[in-house]
Amino acid sequence: MSQKLISKKKPTYPICDKLQDYLEHYNRNTMIPISYDDLLRFSGSIVVYDEDDNDTMWIRVYYSEFERPEIDHQLKKVYALMVSDGDEDIFEYLNIDAIDYCTFGNSKPFRIKVRNILNDNYTYLYVKKADASRVYGLELEHLLSPNWINFTVYKDTLIEEHISGIPGDVFIKDYLPKCTEIQKSQIAKEFVKFNERCTIRLLGDMRSYNYVVIPTHDFDNVIFKIRAIDFDQQSYEGNLKIYKPQFFKENYKMVQNVSEKLKETSINQYKKEERSVTARRIIASKKRLKTLVKCMADDCISKEANLEQLKMGLYDYTHDVNFKRCGTMGEVVSTALDFVKRNYEDVSMKRLLS
């Protein structure tokens, strides 16, 4: 199903001047000492396999003996800028264990493994080509989801901090079958909310390997949260189904679990809960969000055909005539958020007057 839904390849959209100003104003723009193109100068590579000897679609890259020390040093600087405001005193405790390059997908990121040699704790950074769609997606996730996002942009390079969790495809295959019935019900609830959250802010392509499942111990139980990790398909495609994770075949087991564990009334309740929470976040981040969607509204981040298809699909879905008047994908996002906020305020007013 998903192969038919997604376009063959999404183009990269440059960072426009207004978005650049936004990033500088909200401290998302940092002068970093190494670029994506610098990392492309590797001299060799080997395939990275998982513990079951499956190809991970990542290759471990190597650099010449003359370049590697400088690259390691600059990557340590990037790590320090991301986590400790550039404090170079931590350099002596850091080691760049590996630099991997992904050969799959649109962004073709580099994954940098940074290890603290004192205690062997490690984390990852991702270096990617800066794409306006992805930057808008990251910011919307930061403002409208329960999750805080750490990233920075400089010229045509984007650095993202790693988002921990069990990859969705791994969770569905190895963990979901072993969950208790109560846990499966809780996962079903979270998937409904995740599905609604993606639809509201038009985040597309949430196939199982584009989100993670995060287990958290709560007293005598383990609860699960679902979190997006790929933001490349932020309001680009025209088909409304792209923005509903339930329609991807990779998520079939999750959808099946929802149908087995939740009644229609519960599904509708959880959708309303997610819309209400999102509406409160829209209101709470009013000034910053307004500035962001204004950038989107003035930017080109999709094709005209996709825009026409999506705004008519949303009109058919919501019966809100404002979607028909949208002239850009940014205006579609703005209208979608206004729709959620307006409905929340209408319900709140009715409760107040009842």
Per-residue pLDDT reduced to its tens digit, 94-106? 999 999 999 877 7
CA 155 to mean position of chain CA atoms: 21
Its domain, for residue 110, covers 12-161
Q: How far apart are CA 315 and CA 160, in angstroms?
A: 34
pLDDT for the residue numbered 56: 86
Q: How far apart are CA 333 and CA 290, in angstroms?
A: 11
Which of 147, 97, 87, 155 lies closest to 124 in space, CA to CA? Answer: 97
In this structure, the answer to whether residues 229 and 153 fall within a common structural domain is no
Q: What residue type is assigned to position 20 of the chain? A: Q
pLDDT for the residue numbered 219: 81
In this structure, the answer to whether residues 178 and 272 fall within a common structural domain is yes
Q: How far apart are CA 57 and CA 98, in angstroms?
A: 15
In this structure, the answer to whether residues 35 and 89 fall within a common structural domain is yes
Residue 354 has pLDDT above 70, yes or no: no
Give the whole-number percent of the chain exceeding pLDDT 70: 95
Where a domain ends, among 128, 161, 194? 161
What is the DSSP code (8-state) at residue 174?
A: I
In this structure, the answer to whether residues 293 and 240 fall within a common structural domain is yes
- Within-domain flag for 6: no
Domain count, the chain: 2
pLDDT for the residue numbered 348: 64
Contact between 20 and 135 under an 8 Å Cβ cutoff? The reply is no
Residue 172 has pLDDT above 90, yes or no: yes
In this structure, the answer to whether residues 157 and 175 fall within a common structural domain is no
Tokens 């370049």 sit at which residue? 67
> Residue 225 burial (CB < 10 Å; 0-12/13-18/19+)?
middle
Which of 283, 158, 306 lies closest to 234 in space, CA to CA? Answer: 306
Give the residue-averaged pLDDT of 183-208: 97
In this structure, the answer to whether residues 32 and 68 fall within a common structural domain is yes
pLDDT for the residue numbered 39: 96
In this structure, the answer to whether residues 153 and 189 fall within a common structural domain is no
Backbone angles phi, psi at 121, to 5 degrees: -70, 145
In this structure, the answer to whether residues 181 and 269 fall within a common structural domain is yes
In this structure, the answer to whether residues 33 and 141 fall within a common structural domain is yes
Residue 2 has pLDDT above 70, yes or no: no
What is the DSSP code (8-state) at residue 12?
A: P
At residue 37, the 3 state secondary structure works out as helix
pLDDT for the residue numbered 244: 97
Point out the least confidently predicted range of 87-96, 268-277, 295-304, 305-314: 87-96
Q: How far apart are CA 58 and CA 2, in angstroms?
A: 22
- Within-domain flag for 61: yes
What is the DSSP code (8-state) at residue 203?
A: B
pLDDT for the residue numbered 7: 57
Residue 311 has pLDDT above 70, yes or no: yes
Q: How is the beta sheet containing 211-218 ordered, strand by strand?
A: 166-167, 211-218, 221-228
Q: How far apart are CA 21 and CA 228, in angstroms?
A: 26
Per-residue pLDDT reduced to its tens digit, 116-165? 999 999 999 999 999 999 999 999 999 999 999 999 999 999 999 999 99
- What is the band of 29 on the pLDDT scale with cuts at 50, 70, 90? very high
Give the residue-averaged pLDDT of 307-313: 97
- Within-domain flag for 279: yes
Which of 35, 44, 168 lies closest to 110 in space, CA to CA? Answer: 35
Residue 353 has pLDDT above 80, yes or no: no
In this structure, the answer to whether residues 25 and 156 fall within a common structural domain is yes
Q: How far apart are CA 71 and CA 77, in angstroms?
A: 10
| pTM for the model | 0.92
Q: What is the number of other CB atoms lying within 10 angstroms of the CB of residue 177?
A: 9
- Within-domain flag for 132: yes
Where a domain ends, among 161, 180, 204? 161
Per-residue pLDDT reduced to its tens digit, 42-94? 999 999 998 888 888 899 999 999 999 999 999 999 999 988 877 888 898 99
- Within-domain flag for 1: no
Residue 112 has pLDDT above 90, yes or no: yes
Q: How far apart are CA 136 and CA 295, in angstroms?
A: 9
In this structure, the answer to whether residues 348 and 203 fall within a common structural domain is yes
- What DSSP string describes 233-278? TBS--S-GGGG-GGGSGGGHHHHHHHHHH--HHHHHHHHHHHHHHH
What is the DSSP code (8-state) at residue 29?
A: B
Q: How far apart are CA 205 and CA 241, in angstroms?
A: 9
Q: Write down the mean pLDDT value for the chain.
A: 92
In this structure, the answer to whether residues 201 and 336 fall within a common structural domain is yes
Contact between 243 and 198 under an 8 Å Cβ cutoff? The reply is yes
